[in-house]
Structure 1
Amino acid sequence: MSDISPADPVGEAFEAQRDRLRAVAYRMLGSHADAEDVVQEAWLRLARHDAATIHNLAGWLTTVVGRISLDVLRSRQTRPEASYDDRLPELVVAADDGPAPEDDVALADSVGLALLVVLDSLGPGERLAFVLHDLFGVPFDEIGQILGRSADAAKMLASRARRKVQAAERPTSAGREQREVVQAFLAAARRGDFEGLLRVLDPEVKLTVDTPNGVVVILGATKVAEGASARVAAGAAARGRAVLVNGLPGFVSWREDGTPLSVMAFTVVDGRIVAIATVIAPARLASMNLPDPE
């Protein structure tokens, strides 16, 4: 926690910005713990800075939080397998009996997970540009300065990110086409078809696995295809059933004794899987209201 004196005007000004800065950092990083660390680091940098030279404190702090968050995102890419304190959000699982007109209503109420996983699938520059501009109204010239690029380049990154987010927001995006992509993934995993997996995985796909020891993240189509995703999907394909997870096409698998093995949710954009959210933690699975095995 910060050591801010109530009588310190700079500290008071920072505290007035804390909630907003925390919101920026959380949307950048998807982790409450990391967001708190970023905000605390921003305070330490402000404390070392001559506040009299800062003409726009809110803008200065947003820039600092953006730069620190960008460093964290880039460091994650250099160590793609990492554990995070945050768990996946609450997952609502329902039996999937195939596309139906009422699906659109259910999906319209469940875009939260889709948005979360799509944000997590964006590149660091894309995520920063989209979050700062579209969610917090930061001008592109300031975003460009954080990225070390031009305002036009920042605008292009935000535009590319926006297309991915909008694709995930469309209620019809979890219709027949998404189901077919997920079925192709599961079939390729069952056959051990590496090339088939790569055809349906986005090159920057993100696999998030909720384990008993925390959340593990794996980035990139090659590692996802080679690793846990293929093995879990192969097991699920033998004794599982298609479901909807917060409106996204998903899959539940069970062990032979009937205890749940995993729940998977897939986000598909433009015909490729951009993110997979998986729960294998037994306690978390036991707390979920799952349909019966077929």
Structure 2
Amino acid sequence: MVPHDRGDALAEAFEQERGRLLAVAHRMLGSRADAEDAVQEAWLRLSRQDDGSVDNVAGWLTTVVGRVCIDVMRSRRRHPEALYDDHPPELVVVADDGSDPEGDAVLAESVGLALLVVLDTLSPAERVAFVLHDLFGVPFDQIAQVLDRSTDASKMLASRARRKVRDADEPDVEHGRSRAVVDAFLAASRAGEFDELLRVLDPDVTWRSHTGRGVVERRGAQVVAARVQRGARADVRTRSVRVDGRPGVAVWDPRGRPIGVMACTVVGGRIAEIDSFTDARLISRTDFPQAPSA
């Protein structure tokens, strides 16, 4: 058997880990393209290592991918505008007013997407600690190296993230209660009632507007409420829906053509995340329920 040279051996070791690394990065970043970029960066760094300098390739790559993901998440927070992957995400939109009993079966397919939404509410360090430990079983001493913190601090970050995820899965996210919060938000939006909007919005709420030109983030209840107020008088038709399992609203123009959809995440009795989608490509690929009567 012909022995591999150093480059071939590293490449083989990397290829054995590629699938796992992509899964880890995708859970952290929520974007396939960003995950692939993070894994590619890990390979470039590995290929520059001296012969024999890496004893545990799997652990080393996990550490590098984790740190690259942290940098990406921090950059997103500093620069909230971001582009879609090559293709906009697909949405599952079903009526949420008792008129579509078959829709409940579709919702079971969106559990993973709902988890990603909750993960978006975590800080970068919390998300890395939770994803690596709770979803992929990476030990805390290795997570500590990724985060450049102590093992105990890494455990605390994972515990805090776990508590937030658990809280989001408990009564407040029980659909009826979440639906009531979102309906109160929609009523306040239509009426342009600023104080009522602030009452149902988390002070640190994040609103992501997914448009054909990319994604723009707005943060903070005051900013979001002011933006919502400006659109209160729009001439549109709306209907309560579930979007990937989350309570939301679908929007049609006066002629009954779908023009957008919004999904909300409720945490602690307030809306913590809003995602609105108006990208024409995405809307054209999404199955909408029947539009309400004019």
TM-score, normalisation: structure 2: 0.84
Residue of structure 2 equivalent to 1:244: 242
Residue of structure 2 in register with 1:269 after alignment: 267
Aligned residue identity for 1:32? R
> Which of 281, 285, 288 is equivalent to 1:287?
285
- Partner SS, residue 80 of structure 2: coil
1:74 CA drift (Å): 0.7
Contact 2:193 2:229 in 1 (8 A): no
Amino acid at match of 1:252: A
**Partner SS for 2:202:** strand
In structure 2, C-alpha distance between the alignment counterparts of 1:292 and 1:23, rounded to whole Å = 36
Change (3 A) 1:91 1:62: same
Tell me how far 1:219 sits from its aligned partner: 4.1
Which sections of structure 2, spanning at least 5 residues, go unmatched?
Answer: none
Take 1:55 and 1:184, find their aligned partners in 2: how far apart are those partners? Answer: 56
8 Å Cα contact 1:174/1:247 also seen in 2: no
SS of the residue corresponding to residue 253 of structure 1 reads strand
Quick one: structure 1 residues 137 and 239, their matched pair in 2 at CA, closer, same or farther if it must change by over 3 Å? Answer: same
Offset of residue 124 of structure 1:
0.7
CA distance in 2, matches of 1:236, 1:166: 37
CA distances 1:168-213 after superposition (whole Å, capped 9, x unpaired): 4569834221011101222232333344333323344333333223
In structure 2, what residue type is equivalent to 1:141?
Answer: D
Q: Equivalent residue for 1:127?
A: 127
Are 1:190 and 2:182 an aligned pair? no
Question: How far apart are residue 140 of structure 1 and its match?
Answer: 1.8
Q: What does residue range 38-187 of structure 1 map to in structure 2 within 5 Å? A: 38-85=38-85, 89-97=89-97, 107-169=107-169, 173-187=173-187
Q: In 2, Cα distance between the equivalents of 1:271 and 1:103? A: 25
Change (3 A) 1:238 1:76: same
Which is further off, 14-23 or 141-150? Answer: 141-150
| Aligned residue identity for 1:287 | R
Distance of 1:176 and 1:188 partners within structure 2: 18
What is the root-mean-square deviation of aligned Cα atoms in Å? 3.0
Residues in 1 aligned to 2:191 and 2:121: alpha-carbon distance in whole angstroms: 26
Tell me, in whole angstroms, the C-alpha distance in 1 between the residues paired with 2:281 and 2:108. 29
What fraction of aligned residue pairs are identical, expressed as a percent? 58
2: distance between equivalents of 1:178 and 1:86?
Answer: 32
The whole-number CA distance in structure 2 between the counterparts of 1:139 and 1:96 is 41
Runs of 4+ in 1 over 4 A off after TM superposition: 98-109, 167-172, 229-232, 235-238
- Farther-moved stretch of structure 1 (62-71 vs 154-163): 154-163
Q: Compared with structure 1, are the counterparts of its residues 115 and 80 closer, same or farther at alpha carbon in structure 2 (3 Å cutoff)?
A: same
Question: 1:238: how far off?
Answer: 5.8
Q: Distance in 1 between matches of 2:240 and 2:99?
A: 12
Letter in 1 for 2:191: R
TM-score normalised according to structure 1 size: 0.84
Cα distance between partner residues in 2 of 1:291 and 1:240: 11
> What SS is found at the alignment partner of 2:157?
helix
CA distance in structure 2 between the partners assigned to 1:146 and 1:99 by the alignment:
49
Q: Aligned AA for 1:266?
A: C
1:13 alignment counterpart: 13
Distance 1:103 1:288 in 2: 14
Stretches of structure 1 lacking an aligned partner (at least 5 in a row): none
Farther off after superposition, 62-71 or 51-60: 51-60
Tell me what 1:23 maps to. 23
Mapped to 2, the partners of 1:113 and 1:265 lie a distance apart of: 12
Aligned pair count reads: 288
